[in-house]
A and B are shown apart, each in its own frame.
Chain A
Amino acid sequence: MSGEIAQAFAKAKARGEGVLVAYAMAGDPDLPRSVDVFAALVEGGADIVEIGVAFSDPIADGPVIQGASERALKAGSTLKRVLDEVVPEVRRRCPQTPLVIMTYVNVVMAMGEERFAKLARERGVSGAILPDLPPEESADLRATFDAAGLDLIPLCAPTTPPARAEAIARDARGFVYCVSVAGVTGMRAELPPDLSQRLDLVRRASPVPVVAGFGISTEEQARTLAAHADGVVVGSALVRAAHADGPQAAKALCANIKRGLKR
């Protein structure tokens, strides 16, 4: 286990807050300027930063993150360049904030699983989220990551039956990412009514913290979820804010959501 992630949750808990995991796309609008976006997320109150690495065929993403992926690829983003040029800069500017890479399994396979784990860890990455790697396919990669000290953070879905959700939680590293809605990433006006129940169930089974993600964009949603989860992930809303109005807009939105997470 990386340790940094557990620490970030412990610190937030001590302050009586839920954790804000804030996502942005590396390379959107280009590699150096995306560093400013990541730094702005932390200034706005993000406790953990998720660094999106673009993939040509993002099947788990809605239009906002698809658009960001296309811009990042056009700007020349690759996993190697993100690890070489973005991660070290974000580490330098935000040394206290754990970083998690979010990308698709093919991008990691292309670099080589071991090489990725080693390089990511060296650069100061704490974990990785791969939305197209379900439990059945993840055993080998988890072992590789464990050996390097990198957390493979699993996802749990609304369609996951309770026993399966419990098994996912038991094998989790870092935290469990509970997908709030059956669907792709993107803002939702309403979250499903049974979400809090599902969160409670996973939380009871999980040795690590549990966060809710997908569809979350407002302070109000964060406040509702804070009672049932250790934190929330916000992605599309931040990507859209940064793209439309720049890093300061993303920072303001983080601050806003963070208010909803204060107990």
Chain B
Amino acid sequence: MTTETTVGRFGRYGGRYVPETLVPALLELEEAYAKASADPSFGEEVARVLKEFVGRPTTLTPARRLTEAWGGAEVWLKREDLAHTGAHKINNTVGQVLLAKRMGKKRIIAETGAGQHGVATATACALFGLPCEVYMGALDVERQALNVFRMRALGAVVKPVESGSRTLKDAMNEAMRTWVSQVADTHYVIGSAAGPHPYPTIVRDFQSVIGKELRTQALAAFGKLPDAIIACVGGGSNAIGALHPFIGDKGVRLVGVEAGGHGLDSGQHGASLTLGTEGVLHGSRSLVLQDADGQIQEAHSISAGLDYPGVGPELAYLAKTGRMEVRTATDDEALAAFYEVARMEGILPALETSHAFARGRELARELGRGKHLVINCSGRGDKDVATISARGVPPPVGVKA
């Protein structure tokens, strides 16, 4: 099942809107990726590293207490938080860095928002012995100090980006500018299912390991496919990875949850699928948050990984065609979900992931008993403890004050 309507296009979305300097590099990447995909030894190598190093397959965990508390469908968690480095991002970086090595590239650059993709890229570069430079908005450098340290510890150079909103979109601008000037020997590892063709396709393919494993695990655990799968949507990589293998399965509801920030009427959110309009950002045509004059607006989310005014083109297509349902969760709802999951399941989810959990209860109830709901637990929350604890910690449960 594919949603690619013509090469590099998902309906009206996708394409390759980049300076001419980069086009030959994108064509080279497209060709190298096609060759690698056709070569069984490449797939085997990626699979081997995912198993030996990343710890795949990640487990499918029954969320028994949440199931009981929510009083609807049985809830299961696809545990990407258990992947090495603590999020799904590593699935993509292992694949792309191996591909870059095959292409003979000498160095790696990447952008990062929450720092998870930066850490995952730095990790893959350390593993395969390539120098790594990570562009990160200066604001994110402040709010994700732990991940900044992890990248540096792994040997990467972190480049704070001071332009624009000093967040993910500006980091991506700067990474593209750098790539334009070093394109001959450098591979740019884009961290989400966004960017110019062939990135949305490559990232989706590497992340689809999530959904493929889930398929097998669901059949083994409850003897059928899930009735619904929920994932949070920033640029869309964990969502497309979890959902893509199920696009052809009509009985499986696919649900994406975007950052509602301070609320959809506040103007401060990251809900590009819900409120975005068609535009070009970072090399592809998709849905973007922009004003009437085509200026990209700053997104807002408590989670740096969802603080992005664009979204991958395939997600935009799935949303517009109705195959994927789109919902939103506000900062406050995500925070509440964080504690709910922590205290009922013993898991500290990432703030991004907490957005998916925030819509879990209503979806479990809509589905009802006897149905199966899978939440893609895209990452763990250690990186977010500073942000979350700064707002105070609710009192412990089960202890008399």
Does A133 make an interface contact (CB < 8 A)? Answer: yes
| A57–B24 alpha-carbon span in the complex (Å) | 22
| A161–B184 alpha-carbon span in the complex (Å) | 13
Contacting pair A136 B177 (CB below 8 A): no
Contacting pair B163 A66 (CB below 8 A): yes
Interface residues of A in 193-209 (CB under 8 A from B): none
Does B79 make an interface contact (CB < 8 A)? Answer: no
Interface of B, secondary structure class, is: mixed
Does B264 make an interface contact (CB < 8 A)? Answer: no
Q: A110-B293, A159-B25 are in contact. Are A131 and B19 (CB under 8 A)?
A: yes
Q: Which of A58, A62, A135, A182 has the most B CB atoms < 10 Å from its CB?
A: A182
| A156–B23 alpha-carbon span in the complex (Å) | 11
Contacting pair A78 B293 (CB below 8 A): yes
Q: With a CB–CB cut-off of 8 A, which chain A residues contact B18? A: 59, 132, 134
Minimum CB–CB distance for A53 against chain B, Å? 10
Interface residues of A in 98-113 (CB under 8 A from B): 104-111
Contacting pair B21 A56 (CB below 8 A): no
Which residue of chain A lies nearest to B197 when distances are taken between CB atoms in the complex? A136
| A131–B180 alpha-carbon span in the complex (Å) | 12
Looking at the complex, which one of B164, B183, B281 makes contact with A182 (CB distance below 8 Å)?
B183
Q: A182-B183, A183-B180 are in contact. Are A111 and B24 (CB under 8 A)?
A: no
Does B2 make an interface contact (CB < 8 A)? Answer: no
Encode A177-218 as 1/0 by CB contact (under 8 A) with B. 001011110000000000000000000000000000000000
Interface of A, secondary structure class, is: loop
Q: A59-B176, A66-B163, A159-B21 are in contact. Are A106 and B181 (CB under 8 A)?
A: no
Does A143 make an interface contact (CB < 8 A)? Answer: no
Which residue of chain B lies nearest to A63 when distances are taken between CB atoms in the complex? B163
Q: With a CB–CB cut-off of 8 A, which chain A residues contact B170? A: 57
Q: With a CB–CB cut-off of 8 A, which chain B residues contact A156? A: 20
Minimum CB–CB distance for B251 against chain A, Å? 37
| A110–B290 alpha-carbon span in the complex (Å) | 9
Contacting pair A132 B24 (CB below 8 A): no
Q: With a CB–CB cut-off of 8 A, which chain A residues contact B183? A: 159, 182
Q: With a CB–CB cut-off of 8 A, which chain B residues contact A157? A: 19-21, 23-24
| A137–B340 alpha-carbon span in the complex (Å) | 47
Other contacts beyond A59-B282, A159-B25: 7, CB < 8 A:
A106-B280, A132-B18, A132-B280, A136-B15, A159-B20, A182-B181, A183-B21
